[in-house]
Amino acid sequence: MDAVQKVGNGHPGTAMSLAPAAYLLYQRFLRHDPADPSWIGRDRFVLSNGHTSLTQYIQLFFSGYGLELSDLEAFRTWGSKTPGHPEYGHTVGIETTTGPLGQGYATAVGMAMDTRYVRGLFDPVAEVGRSPFDHHVWVFAGDGCVQEGITGEAASLAGHQKLGNLIVIYDDNHISIEGNTEVSFSEDVLARHAAYGWHTQHVDLGVDGDVDVQGLARAMRNAMDETGRPSIISLRTIIAWPAPDAQNTGKSHGSALGAEEIAKTKSLMGMDPDVDFAVDPDVLAHVREVTQRGAQTHAQWNELFEVWKAAHPDKVALLDRLLAKELPDGLEQAMPVFDPAKAMATRKASGEVINAIAEVMPEFWGGSADLAESNLTTIEGGGSFLPADSRAPAATPYGRILHFGIREHAMGAILNGIAVGGLTRPFGGTFLVFSDYMRGAVRIAALMQAPVTYVWTHDSIGLGEDGPTHQPVEHLTALRAIPGLDVVRPADPNETSVCWLKVLRDRRPAALALTRQNVPTLPAGQVAGAIKGGYVLAEADGELQVILIATGSEVQLALSARDTLQEQGVGTRVVSMPCTEWFDEQPVAYRDEVLPPAVTARVSVEAGRAMPWYKYVGTAGRCVSLEHFGASAAYETLFEEFGITAEAVVDAAKQCLS
Ligand SMILES: Cc1ncc(C[n+]2csc(CCOP(=O)(O)OP(=O)(O)O)c2C)c(N)n1
Ligand SMILES: [Mg+2]
């Protein structure tokens, strides 16, 4: 109440009503050691209803994670450790960024899947719950989370995957911003989860001196005992309880309660109404005892871990490498080199690269949202990641092939959950056009700088007959607009190989945009510059007069246009620009070498919106682009009809020169 009142905005109601549940979790259930927030044996906690960030900040303060009362006093202000919503990498003890409702829940599903994959890498035969690599993933979620579609996708997959280490506490308070959820929500949330294959329980937390913390504790214990299914506890709470007037109102969700209401509430609770941010030293000493529990649990875990180490010396080296965030020796040598005599789609090249990486990186795994045969994301012989009793072909609980089903948005969040686990490297594929369906999660990956790799194929009208619904036009532009996301569109199979290696080395969120159709293969020796994002692929003969800047399948058009222009005596350079973000990171001297400021005759060539290219072509330049939706026809026809051809590039170059 005081923190929100002080800054004048925020979400007090849910932080009040969820306080008993959060306290119970952090003090009694969560396996954590505040002295070592990155302990690999810890349970993960995800606050999916991120607006109630105070719920978590207060427990982080109580548990001794380094947050102090002054940090709560600085809630939601510039530079504080207590921003409006929990942010990964910003506040110690926050496992993932949340705020867009449903993201946290779906990310937690990814964390629970990652736990199983990691135990498969290191301790596959241990009994469930007995391995140092086993832990629980706890989630708080609200009405908003369970209403969001992404949660339906993720819950469905979690049930199918029988993620027994996942426990969701759903804050069933019948209130969201517009007031009573009667206005928009009537389904039986537990029945829906039961239908997804979850273990379900309901607890009424109760009010008025009769808060049933024991009932909640029993339900949490039951949920932990349930190892064959994910578990959800629907917890009936009264938002803003015990504030006399604010409780059970939509207003208490997102507004300061006001000095008078706060004073009344403090009086009701037997506290001094005139004192703000009151924390009795005895109370603080008591709650901080949780650090002792943490140290003890950690010490017990260490014993188990030492036993594991002694039994698995071979695996210790792998764990050390993954903890150090290092790539294996021999990765570069393992990367495929493609024969220039053979044309190949870049998705096909990526498929070969993925399999080559998989040979040397056991931590590398991923899959597709039901398009594996199109995206070419399958690790051959990797086994399908599925529960032990699955009847699907090649099913194994530790499989390297993820089958997301047609659930792109959940796929995005699940990849985030895996990536923030920090040990493994996940990738996920769909058609580039459906990056829109996962964009909410991609944005969070970029915000967190989580090392997720997207394999987005069928990257332009070059996919042909499926037509405009499937042909991305604005997507490269829209994705480049996300800060911190590397959008990579290699020109050919060899650039694809070079770019994949850089993506692995950079450990940042990266999107590969790959062709469905074959493209000519460039000699490997010519494309090494791709790691700089943009480089001179073909130099001008004679005086440099015009620069053609192209990406992906359009690089061949630029090369062919260059031939024509050179024949006509126009000195033409071709710059291949697979990743503008990487190029922009290069020193000015390098960028000026590739794109000399004095040469203002510049043409960009990309089968998509021109918007990102103006900054490279400048006011004297031209863009060969696509400013409208595509159509259903053979791709050769589409490029011709829409004027994305070598002739169009030649014409544009001449316009610039004149
Ligand atoms: C994707 C998304 N849409 C909308 C919002 C804005 N928003 C924040 S909280 C909220 C209501 C959430 O209701 P509930 O989860 O029941 O929260 P409670 O008030 O019970 O804490 C909304 C619409 C958001 N954060 N994320
Ligand atoms: Mg609610």
| Ligand of minimum distance to the alpha carbon of 52 | 1
| Radius of gyration of the CA atoms of the chain, in A | 27
Rounded CA-CA distance 15/240 in Å is 8
**Residues flanking ion ligand 2, Cβ below 5 Å:** 142-143, 173, 175-176
- Residue 439 near residue 432, CB atoms below 8 Å: no
Contacts for 413 with CB less than 8 Å, ≥ 6 apart: 102, 103, 106, 107, 109, 110, 150, 154, 440, 441, 444
Determine the atom of ligand 1 nearest the C-alpha atom of 250.
19
Position 198 pLDDT exceeds 90: yes
Strand ranges inside 93-205, DSSP E: 137-141, 166-172, 175-176, 179-180, 199-204
Position 560 pLDDT exceeds 70: yes
- The structure tokens 């294996």 sit at 328
pLDDT in tens, 35-67: 999 999 999 999 999 999 999 999 999 999 999
Q: What is the pLDDT, as a whole number, of residue 250?
A: 97
Most informative mutation of 9, 11, 49, 235 for ligand 1 (most atoms within 8 A of CB): 49
Residues in a beta bridge with 385 = 396
pLDDT in tens, 332-348: 999 999 999 999 999 99
Distance (Å) from CA 171 to ligand 2 centroid: 6
| Ligand of minimum distance to the alpha carbon of 254 | 1
Average pLDDT over every residue of 389-406: 97
Q: What is the pLDDT, as a whole number, of residue 108?
A: 99
pLDDT in tens, 577-603: 999 999 999 999 999 999 999 999 999
Clarify whether 647 is annotated catalytic: no
Q: What is the pLDDT, as a whole number, of residue 211?
A: 84
Distance (Å) from CA 101 to ligand 1 centroid: 6
Letter string b/e over residues 321-343, b meaning 16 or more CB atoms within 10 A of that residue's CB: bbeeeebbeebeebbbebebeee
Given 87, 153, 261, 408, the catalytic residue: 408
Most informative mutation of 17, 56, 176, 248 for ligand 1 (most atoms within 8 A of CB): 176
Q: Which two tokens stand for residue 89?
A: 């990498």
What are the C-alpha distances in Å from 253 to residues 104, 143, 189, 203, 204? 19, 12, 21, 21, 20
Is the overall model pTM greater than 0.95, yes or no?
A: yes
Distance (Å) from CA 173 to ligand 2 centroid: 5
7 CB-side CA count, 13 A: 23
Q: Whose CA is nearest to atom 12 of ligand 1?
A: 144
Q: What is the pLDDT, as a whole number, of residue 210?
A: 79
Determine the atom of ligand 1 nearest the C-alpha atom of 50.
25
Average pLDDT over every residue of 360-385: 98
Mean pLDDT in the chain?
A: 98
Q: Specify the pairing of strand 510-514 against strand 453-457.
A: parallel
Determine the atom of ligand 1 nearest the C-alpha atom of 173.
20
Distance (Å) from CA 142 to ligand 2 centroid: 5
Rounded CA-CA distance 335/170 in Å is 46
Q: Whose CA is nearest to atom 25 of ligand 1?
A: 100
Most informative mutation of 253, 439, 443, 444 for ligand 1 (most atoms within 8 A of CB): 253
Rounded CA-CA distance 150/103 in Å is 7
Rounded CA-CA distance 536/386 in Å is 46
Q: Whose CA is nearest to atom 21 of ligand 1?
A: 14
Position 209 pLDDT exceeds 90: no
Q: Whose CA is nearest to atom 24 of ligand 1?
A: 100
Q: Which two tokens stand for residue 577?
A: 């620009």
Determine the atom of ligand 1 nearest the C-alpha atom of 102.
1
Distance (Å) from CA 148 to ligand 1 centroid: 10
pLDDT in tens, 615-656: 999 999 999 999 999 999 999 999 999 999 999 999 999 999
Distance (Å) from CA 49 to ligand 2 centroid: 9
Rounded CA-CA distance 629/299 in Å is 61
Distance (Å) from CA 166 to ligand 1 centroid: 22
pLDDT in tens, 521-550: 999 999 999 999 999 999 999 999 999 999
Ligand 1 first shell, C-beta below 6 A? 14, 49, 51-52, 99-101, 142-145, 171, 173, 175-177, 239, 253
The full set of domains in the chain, from first to last, is 2-296 (3.40.50.970), 331-524 (3.40.50.970), 532-657 (3.40.50.920)
Q: Which two tokens stand for residue 356?
A: 């080559």
Coil, strand or helix: which one is 576? strand
Residues in a beta bridge with 345 = 518
Inter-helix orientation angle 408-421/149-160, to 10°: 70
Letter string b/e over residues 58-68, b meaning 16 or more CB atoms within 10 A of that residue's CB: bbbbbbbbebe
Q: What is the pLDDT, as a whole number, of residue 441?
A: 99
Rounded CA-CA distance 44/50 in Å is 15
Most informative mutation of 177, 184, 239, 444 for ligand 1 (most atoms within 8 A of CB): 177
Contacts for 655 with CB less than 8 Å, ≥ 6 apart: 622
Q: What is the pLDDT, as a whole number, of residue 146?
A: 98
Determine the atom of ligand 1 nearest the C-alpha atom of 177.
11
Nearest to 28 by CA among 1, 70, 59, 55: 59
Rounded CA-CA distance 35/19 in Å is 23
- In percent, how much of the chain has pLDDT > 90? 99
Average pLDDT over every residue of 1-23: 98
Residue 207: pLDDT band (50, 70, 90) is confident
Q: What is the pLDDT, as a whole number, of residue 416?
A: 99
Distance (Å) from CA 11 to ligand 1 centroid: 10
**What are phi and psi for residue 581, nearest 5 degrees?**
-65, -40
Determine the atom of ligand 1 nearest the C-alpha atom of 440.
1
In this structure, which amino acid lies at residue 171? D
| Ligand of minimum distance to the alpha carbon of 14 | 1
